[in-house]
Structure 1
């Protein structure tokens, strides 16, 4: 893939410093590097370290092909995880401290390369606001959301009388789209609005999804932008590897999975930005135990703003004797777990997830159906995409009931529904078929592969 023209172009990644955002752009970096294009990954030293330590699905030695720029930022408060708060707000000051070092990096690269391409998270737009002042440099905005989510967000904010077109009846638009009420705090909303002031100068937009999954919604977004030829839409996902190399040191849970029957285990994990209350942990534990199903449960608190800060935090507590009682059919993992490897394992038959887009696209690409339990942010609408549009999942609870404790009875019935009924088997079949289609799309000649080729051709033109 490498040619002389590619080596004259450099790409700079500017991720938002939350794990799911960091991870997505790290995987995209690996894809671009495979074309012989140098990639510079720019962020704070602590968050660059975090994403390298947690890299999944890739041999760690491949990290050496990416140029990490570890910028120092002033110390900041990193409070312990709290189930009632999102661990995102302490990160809001970071863009302010990255603007100057990132701009200096771009100026240095501009003097060296024929063209410098900046791929920045939409929540880091203020960091790269100087791109328009730097010669031979252009930016592409990355949306760490589903295409469905992004379109619905924009469409519902257009007054009915101003809708620029009608949506074809062949495209599924669920009648009951969850409200955004309760999804984010006022502080987060203000931060997003402030970043949005710097949107609109990018040369294109990048999505970590596949047209195989939700091409219709990306096409509607393209139509909303008026098919502006100067603003390209590149659907390049899934960024994550879809075939595991098997060369990494294997986590103990994978060895346990090797001993289980195909599709017999449900994986439970709520990502890096969710902490459960003690009461909810007890209900979940009881529901899993009563379901009689095999499971792997990643039970850990949400990340701090600084995931490597010192200080002891209260660890989640299980009912007394629980792990001993379920040891023959369940495993509780309290450390960072290799989610991609777990989802790719043939013993996994379902995934109870918060439906963050990073986890959702990984599960879809591995062909695993989802028990959708959205917690905040864009997750309620991702859950609708998974359950109502794609038909590869069930809801654990409605978003309107988010303030209520989810009972062990509900959890037990949901797990059984996904793992031990004809309906669940049909979802598993649909998820497997969709996963096959997604994996074919990233192979040579597939839709995502061709779109990646087109993106590379565009930035090296």
Structure 2
């Protein structure tokens, strides 16, 4: 099936998984579709729709009016607090929240499916972790279904190869990327369902060999595969609404390509001992930086202001680095920061959303994976594309990384010849694929 042109006006229903990295990708994709004239419906809990809209970057505020949001009311979420001393980097405190939200979304989304498909065909695009929507759509003949993969093709391929004992093509799934309760949750909610095609937030310039191999796998034969990434804008609108974030005002005053941006995503909570070592490494590097210090999201991010731990951290650090750095406690406009001309490098957990944003904005990557697909994404950057350096190897995930390693990684990219080589390889890679983005 081909996507209809804008004159046909077939509605598209988007059903994201209620976690920031998934919400963000699917909202960006929804805006891309709506910018081409498609009537787009975005359905999630009212709490998560507000979160997705509030944290959106790169688009004008008016662009949101082109999407119909279905803010499904749900009861108050159960309490959830991230644990900085957890034995695993995954935010397991969110698993009960996800179960709760999915339970309360199922009936309203089923009703919405029937309502939107009652008078015309409907295109349904859903996160694989929301596979229940296909069960509910099975009795509706006028629905065309597509899965939107928020993880990269090579990551999915590696698990298919492992399950079928095929030779490794890049690297096998790494150990201990998920705790057991998350694997159980995934098996329950992400299962094989019929669909007409798969959409990936990736590009052939990054993953063409893996897309080609994936298309030959049994689960993908007969299905269309669309590489639609990067779904986030390549030309970033300066602001959504209201005043600019103070960190952007600070960036305006810095020299071009002089700042290291440090952020570990919305699902990472770092122990105090590691935060202290990161702080010392950043300070010793003598490089300009913006560091986002925050804990993993709660279920309802409007409660983040109640988290006092990050406010009490590094109380004298701001003064020590005043003039060359800025510490942001809480949410920061990542896409705006990466798109800024003063930003040169990104120390990241390597979630796929951050990966695609960093790659498309042309910054060098410093990889510090925490869980899930992040360890393999880090290897994709450092071993396959060779456009970044590893800060912490996955094998040392249970250790507190000393400040010297943080300092060393930053200097490799910002000062030493290795950084020059990374930028040269990146320009060569961009020219080869016609993808000079910043």
Q: Is TM > 0.5 for Structure 1 vs Structure 2? A: yes
How far is 1:427 from its partner? 1.1
- 2:177 and 2:210 map into 1 onto residues whose CA distance is 22
Change (3 A) 1:4 1:372: closer
- For each residue in 1:354-390, what CA deviation from the matched residue of structure 2 results, as whole angstroms up to 9, or x when unmatched? 0000000000111111110000111000001111011
SS, match of residue 301 in structure 1: coil
CA RMSD of aligned residues (A): 2.2
Of residues 93-102 and 321-330 in structure 1, the stretch that sits farther from structure 2 once superposed is 93-102
1:235 corresponding residue in structure 2: 227
The answer to whether residue 344 in structure 2 is matched with residue 349 in structure 1 is: yes
- For each residue in 1:6-54, what CA deviation from the matched residue of structure 2 results, as whole angstroms up to 9, or x when unmatched? 31x1100100000110000000001111221100000000000000111
Q: How many residues align?
A: 426
- For each residue in 1:116-167, what CA deviation from the matched residue of structure 2 results, as whole angstroms up to 9, or x when unmatched? 011100111123321111131121111101111111121122124xx7xxx8
Change (3 A) 1:59 1:367: same
TM norm structure 2: 0.92
2:22 corresponding residue in structure 1: 21
Maintained 8 Å contact 2:297/2:304: no
Given the alignment, which residue of 421, 424, 431 partners 2:419? 424
1:53 corresponding residue in structure 2: 54
- For each residue in 1:271-320, what CA deviation from the matched residue of structure 2 results, as whole angstroms up to 9, or x when unmatched? 00001111111100001000111100011111101112387223324434
1:195 corresponding residue in structure 2: 189
SS, match of residue 130 in structure 1: helix
Change (3 A) 1:119 1:244: same
The answer to whether residue 144 in structure 2 is matched with residue 142 in structure 1 is: no
**Structure 1: gaps spanning 5 or more residues:** 168-172, 443-461
Change (3 A) 1:31 1:319: closer
The answer to whether residue 201 in structure 2 is matched with residue 208 in structure 1 is: yes
How far is 1:98 from its partner? 1.3
SS, match of residue 129 in structure 1: helix
How far is 1:200 from its partner? 2.9
Given the alignment, which residue of 291, 296, 304 partners 2:290? 296
2:385 corresponding residue in structure 1: 390
SS, match of residue 133 in structure 1: coil
Change (3 A) 1:4 1:398: closer
Maintained 8 Å contact 1:210/1:438: no
The answer to whether residue 280 in structure 2 is matched with residue 273 in structure 1 is: no
SS, match of residue 102 in structure 2: helix
1:130 corresponding residue in structure 2: 136
SS, match of residue 309 in structure 1: helix
Given the alignment, which residue of 164, 180, 188 partners 1:186? 180
Maintained 8 Å contact 2:260/2:346: yes
2:11 corresponding residue in structure 1: 10
- For each residue in 1:221-269, what CA deviation from the matched residue of structure 2 results, as whole angstroms up to 9, or x when unmatched? 001137633x111111110000012354422211211221221110000
Give the 5 Å matches for 1:55-454: 55-83=56-84, 84=86, 86=91, 87-89=93-95, 90-113=97-120, 115-160=121-166, 173-174=169-170, 177=172, 179=174, 181-197=175-191, 199-225=192-218, 228-229=221-222, 231-248=223-240, 249-309=243-303, 312-316=306-310, 317-432=312-427, 434=429, 440=435
TM norm structure 1: 0.88
- 1:391 and 1:23 map into 2 onto residues whose CA distance is 27
- 1:18 and 1:94 map into 2 onto residues whose CA distance is 11
Maintained 8 Å contact 1:268/1:296: yes
The answer to whether residue 43 in structure 2 is matched with residue 42 in structure 1 is: yes
- 1:423 and 1:4 map into 2 onto residues whose CA distance is 48
Of residues 212-221 and 421-430 in structure 1, the stretch that sits farther from structure 2 once superposed is 421-430
- 2:296 and 2:429 map into 1 onto residues whose CA distance is 30
